[in-house]
Homo-oligomer: A and B are copies of this chain.
Amino acid sequence: MPSSNQQMKFALKSTGHSITVPRKQLFKTLQAHEAQTIHELVARCPTVDRATIYRTIELFEELGIVQRLQIGWKYQLELTDSYVHHHHHLVCTRCGAIIALAEDAELEARLITLAATADFTASDHQLEIRGLCSNCH
């Protein structure tokens, strides 16, 4: 079983990219948080230049390592389903909490079916449910 670390390194090498200190740093930080803004990422990686962070995120996106989430005003970043188990997000509109929602086979199946009826070949998807968490209602 390849660790997600090895998986990330393979994704880089196999596409002709180098394994560098900033890239390892960024990956590590992404593993440590459920979802985070670019600004948080910049703050959490003080030794890495802002421009490098933008460039690395772009590369990680191309390699399918990271994805953007549609949460609130600013987009958030998190590892893709290849690196963490597929899930969706419950976002509390009162306290701002972001709660991971475990994968549901029935829901997933319905999504694929629906896309197919529109002659669309789905590769991945994102779902955000807004409302009130247990603490806030």
Interface residues of A (CB under 8 A from B): 68-73, 75, 90, 92-93, 99, 101, 104, 106-107, 110-111, 114-115, 118-134, 137
Q: Are A130 and B134 CB-contacts (below 8 A) given A101-B115, A107-B107?
A: no
Q: Are B131 and A122 in contact (CB under 8 A)?
A: yes
Q: Are A130 and B123 in contact (CB under 8 A)?
A: yes
Q: Are B130 and A127 in contact (CB under 8 A)?
A: no
Chain B residues with CB under 8 A of A121: 131-132, 137
Q: How far is the CA of A111 from the CA of B127 in the complex (A)?
A: 10
Q: Are B99 and A118 in contact (CB under 8 A)?
A: yes
Q: How far is the CA of A120 from the CA of B129 in the complex (A)?
A: 9
Q: Are A118 and B131 in contact (CB under 8 A)?
A: no
Chain B residues with CB under 8 A of A129: 111, 114-115, 120, 122, 124-125
Q: Are A90 and B120 in contact (CB under 8 A)?
A: yes
Q: How far is the CA of A107 from the CA of B71 in the complex (A)?
A: 21
Q: Are A123 and B131 CB-contacts (below 8 A) given A73-B68, A107-B107?
A: yes
Chain B residues with CB under 8 A of A131: 115, 120-124
Q: Are B106 and A110 in contact (CB under 8 A)?
A: yes
Q: How far is the CA of A101 from the CA of B120 in the complex (A)?
A: 10
